[in-house]
Chains A and B, each alone.
Chain A
């Protein structure tokens, strides 16, 4: 199976740009350099053709940044992203644009990702028209098709986003992404803001679309049960690093990394048994000053001296199962 996408040792750093005076002050040692957030720290990932890869983690783990780097909304500070084994920089302009177009993103909050002053017809139709996938004359038909596929009534094409419910707005976002005929979707917390009964409808739509259109997905979520349901393979991130990756069966039956185990344990379950919530201690550290060595060590019940000093490598611990923990040595 070929790789639809490969992310090779990608890092992404954010910092505030210095003005001239600040730079001068920094140069003369009068001012500390601006703090740098390492949102992604040497992250590698492959996604096979037609695969659904789930990315889980808590706030600040870099899962959304990774999605944005892959979608081309952010430039990586280091490392490369390959589409079908080709670097975008190596492709001639038109091909690079076409390759980009094949990867589309669906966001968490449909109300902030849809222009409130545009009608649904414009929201969905603008991109395919610009990219020549349809003509102005056929646009109405084209938009109707896209809406119907996402489970929206095409007769509502001239309405504005606020006239739709939350679930329907998410469908508009999906229709917009699919309108440029991508073969890969990046869903960033796409069902997190929805009610349970609506969440099931949207997840079903994703599953149906995958079958109909042979889509490849990167599915970013903090919700383990959603990721477990939809993914073939799961990547667990913590503070900008991948700590574990495995097939969904393997990860949920034999979690290796202490962080993954803690996440699974603390997942609220419907098992109607009165139970005591026992929590992992501590806060999620700020990505501005992550702990040394293994980022998880201050909260890890099994931490050793080595964990404070040395960064654990992501190593194979089973068939298609990798984990970054010193305990595996």
Chain B
């Protein structure tokens, strides 16, 4: 199977007159059609920047300064702004955490949805409206015909997120990048959204990058997962394998600290310290100040290397220690 999306050593930096600050570096991903990849990390780990870098949505002073984003074999970074606009929203769509940042509060849903269709395809108003209605139906919005003429504020939070997903689906994209789309939603509503997305990826062969801080969301949804820490991929592999036997001390610590993995009422196993800020990265492995197995070796940067069927960036992988 050829990869639909292949990212090679992607690097994004903030470039100012005072110097450069690296936001993400050495990001490598591969995604086939219909495949779901989870991109997991805590705040400041660079997971959203990765999503935006793929979409070419990075704004100054930040810029993508290295690597390739191969979408169906073509490097998106070499495209002109005009060319990338015909891809963005059409072949690659994005869903954001807050649907109100996608939706215009003063326009009706149908206006906004038809605008997307007309930006990429010359079809009649009627056909565009029908497509919008079908997309709303697909994400489980009841009576889509009537809801088309509603305004965003007339929807609940979960429904708004469905509308945002429906907009992403309008052009039947090959790839959807979803940035924390269920984080602000309630548990039961989150489950509804996850079930829609899961069905879509399966039925339509849409590839999906699901950015989240929540490992448990990824567990049931994604086949592959990349764990990010401080702007780099710490560990990448098959979800089932990686969650059952995390090898990077960070992933291991993260899983061990979940309340579900600890005895009720006992102290949780915690990772000490806090995530470093991008302006003040530790030397070598960015995790070493918080890592229990750090040695002198960790002061030089580890590379992302294949270890037992996964990619790992660590000199001292957790070998037998299962987290649970």
A222 and B275 form a contact (CB under 8 A): no
B262 and A270 form a contact (CB under 8 A): no
Q: Residue on B with the closest CB to A285? A: B156
A 271-324 contacts with B by CB, 8 A: 271-280, 283-284
B 264-280 contacts with A by CB, 8 A: 264-272, 274-275
Per a CB cutoff under 8 Å, which of A200, A262, A263 touches B268?
A200
B213 on interface, CB distance cutoff 8 Å: yes
Q: Residue on B with the closest CB to A57? A: B186
Mark interface residues in A195-226 (1 if CB within 8 Å of B CB, else 0): 11111110110011000000000000010111
A280 and B191 form a contact (CB under 8 A): yes
A152 on interface, CB distance cutoff 8 Å: no
Stretch at the interface among B72-80, B237-245, B304-312: B237-245
B219 and A203 form a contact (CB under 8 A): no
Task: Report the bound CA distance from A277 to B219 in whole Å.
Answer: 11
A167 on interface, CB distance cutoff 8 Å: yes
B188 and A58 form a contact (CB under 8 A): yes
Per a CB cutoff under 8 Å, which of B220, B223, B242 touches A268?
B220
A262 and B188 form a contact (CB under 8 A): yes
Q: Residue on A with the closest CB to B267? A: A204
Q: Residue on A with the closest CB to B217? A: A268
A198-B274 CB under 8 A given contacts A230-B265, A277-B220: yes
A275 and B220 form a contact (CB under 8 A): yes
The CB with the most chain B CB atoms within 10 A, among A198, A200, A267, is that of A200
- Rounded to whole Å, the gap between the CB of A156 and the closest CB of chain B is 14
- Rounded to whole Å, the gap between the CB of B67 and the closest CB of chain A is 27
B264 and A273 form a contact (CB under 8 A): no
Residues of B close to A228: CB separation below 8 A: 259-260, 264
Task: Report the bound CA distance from A273 to B244 in whole Å.
Answer: 10
Residues of B close to A230: CB separation below 8 A: 259, 265
B188 and A279 form a contact (CB under 8 A): yes
B220 and A197 form a contact (CB under 8 A): no
B side interface size, CB within 8 A: 51
B220 and A278 form a contact (CB under 8 A): no
Per a CB cutoff under 8 Å, which of A195, A198, A229, A267 touches B187?
A267
A196 and B187 form a contact (CB under 8 A): no
A side interface size, CB within 8 A: 45
B 28-77 contacts with A by CB, 8 A: 42-43
Residues of B close to A284: CB separation below 8 A: 156, 186, 188-189
A269 on interface, CB distance cutoff 8 Å: yes
- Rounded to whole Å, the gap between the CB of A242 and the closest CB of chain B is 18
Residues of B close to A204: CB separation below 8 A: 267-268, 270
A177 on interface, CB distance cutoff 8 Å: no
B215 and A270 form a contact (CB under 8 A): yes
Task: Report the bound CA distance from A166 to B274 in whole Å.
Answer: 10
Per a CB cutoff under 8 Å, which of B189, B195, B259 touches A225?
B259
A195-B198 CB under 8 A given contacts A266-B187, A277-B220, A283-B189: no
Residues of A close to B255: CB separation below 8 A: 270
A274-B223 CB under 8 A given contacts A196-B42, A268-B214: yes
A59 on interface, CB distance cutoff 8 Å: yes
Q: Residue on A with the closest CB to B158? A: A283
Residues of A close to B270: CB separation below 8 A: 197, 200-201, 204
- Rounded to whole Å, the gap between the CB of A61 and the closest CB of chain B is 9
B240 and A272 form a contact (CB under 8 A): yes
- Rounded to whole Å, the gap between the CB of A66 and the closest CB of chain B is 17
A277 and B254 form a contact (CB under 8 A): no
Per a CB cutoff under 8 Å, which of B189, B261, B265 touches A270?
B261
A229-B188 CB under 8 A given contacts A195-B42, A196-B257, A204-B268: no
- Rounded to whole Å, the gap between the CB of A50 and the closest CB of chain B is 13
A120 on interface, CB distance cutoff 8 Å: no
A276 and B268 form a contact (CB under 8 A): no
Residues of A close to B271: CB separation below 8 A: 197, 200
- Rounded to whole Å, the gap between the CB of B178 and the closest CB of chain A is 14
A165 on interface, CB distance cutoff 8 Å: yes
A203 and B191 form a contact (CB under 8 A): no
Residues of A close to B152: CB separation below 8 A: none
Task: Report the bound CA distance from A275 to B202 in whole Å.
Answer: 12
Task: Report the bound CA distance from A283 to B154 in whole Å.
Answer: 14
A196 and B158 form a contact (CB under 8 A): no
Task: Report the bound CA distance from A18 to B268 in whole Å.
Answer: 51
A273-B240 CB under 8 A given contacts A200-B269, A225-B260, A266-B191: yes
Residues of B close to A71: CB separation below 8 A: none
Sampled A-B contacts (24; CB under 8 Å): A58-B186, A195-B275, A196-B258, A200-B268, A200-B270, A201-B272, A204-B268, A207-B267, A224-B187, A225-B258, A226-B259, A229-B260, A229-B265, A263-B188, A268-B187, A268-B219, A269-B220, A270-B219, A270-B260, A274-B220, A277-B198, A279-B192, A280-B188, A284-B156
Known contacts A267-B187, A272-B244; can you find 10 more A-B pairs with CB under 8 A?
A: A195-B43, A197-B275, A228-B260, A266-B187, A268-B217, A272-B219, A273-B220, A274-B220, A278-B191, A279-B192
